[in-house]
Amino acid sequence: MPRIVPPEERQFALVLALLATEQGLTKEQILSTVDGYHQKYVPNGDNANLERQFERDKDTLRELGVPLETVDAPGQPGNNQLQSYRVSKGDYELPGDIAFTPTELSLLQLAGTVWREGSLSGDMRRAMIKLRAAGVEPDGPMLGYAPRLKQLEPAFGPLTQAIERREAVSFPYLRPGRTVARTHTIKPLALFQFRGRWLFMGLDYADHKLTFLLSRIVGEVTFTRERFEPPPGDHSAEALRELEHLWQRNTATVAVEPGSDAAIRLARRYGGTADGRLLVVHYSDLSLLADELAGYGPEVTVLEPDHLKQAVVSRLEATEWAHRDADAAAGGAA
């Protein structure tokens, strides 16, 4: 079975490849050589799903600010099979008048520790050999970095594999307000990010669509070896639309201490409004918002809705009792 390449690694490999040449790469060259695509490329076969994946990756890179250009073939304007793609180095590199202080360089160097190594990975080197064999030669030195960004949720990797393999999985999931996790068996359809949190959508055995927060998976994700055929459609886009609708519909009014951490952070939440000490914030998950607001302590007071106020109060009371128990235990030990 070919190696499963995470989306962020595939997109990074695409940027590296498109930076390597000024003349650009055709779609076929990209799909047949770039890491993350070539593993699933079928020579002279049906690559429609792979082409759709490439189109999504292009949109993602442009949203991230990568200056991705499309170049028509001479005498063939609009022929997307012959079009070439490239990333302009002049637009992508830092301007020449930008300089960093020693302290800034040290911080950048520290940030660079999330990268695995200062050379191309084996798959990327093989891809470059294929590109050269196709007559595409890098126009300048390549800076090769293979990303290894730590995923905070251990479920991320297994779920990515399950989606690629179209295989059902089981996992323990702890819902808000529960003390015991419940095991779910789900056919995963899509893994996506919303407002900085990772979620995934899947089907239960009644084919009902359910959405799960990865941070609430409290144990190992196991593969069931049960394969399935996912229904057609862009499941990530569908889930994001539903969450966006919830986010826009659900609002809370809070009072914050001016200049406090709560005032600064909550004022920056997407779609929120401020009126002096009063803030209106949007949310899609009441429990997550209650956790966040309780973390600010006396810096924030929930005015409405009442069920959010009660949720925050219950968290603060639980924290107080936990400290009392800890103090009592410490006193007894003394």
Q: What letters, b where the CB count within 10 A reaches 16 and e where it falls short, cover 224-248? A: eeeeeeeeeeebbeebbeebbeebe
The 10s digit of each residue's pLDDT in 176-235 is 878 899 999 999 999 888 887 889 999 998 889 999 999 999 999 999 999 999 998 888
Query: What global pTM score does this model have?
Result: 0.53
Cβ neighbours around 113 below 10 Å, total: 8
Give residue 328's pLDDT.
Answer: 58
Q: Could you give phi then psi for residue 302, rounded to 5 degrees?
A: -80, 125
The string of pLDDT tens digits covering residues 270-301 is 777 778 889 999 999 999 999 989 988 889 99
| CATH classification code of 156-233 | 2.30.30
Q: Specify the pLDDT at position 72.
A: 80
Structure-model confidence comparison of residues 169 and 329, the more confident one: 169
* Ramachandran assignment for 276, one of left (phi > 0), alpha (psi -120 to 50 degrees), beta (any other): left
What average pLDDT does the structure give for the chain? 80
Matching residue, tokens 């106020």: 309
pLDDT digits (tens, 9 = 90+) for 33-78: 888 888 888 888 888 888 888 988 888 888 777 888 888 877 766 6
- Per domain, the residue ranges of the chain are 7-133, 156-233, 250-333
**138 confidence band (pLDDT: 50, 70, 90):** low
Predicted local confidence at residue 201, as pLDDT: 93
Predicted local distance difference test score (pLDDT) of residue 100: 65
Distance, CA of 334 to CA of 331 (rounded, Å):
5
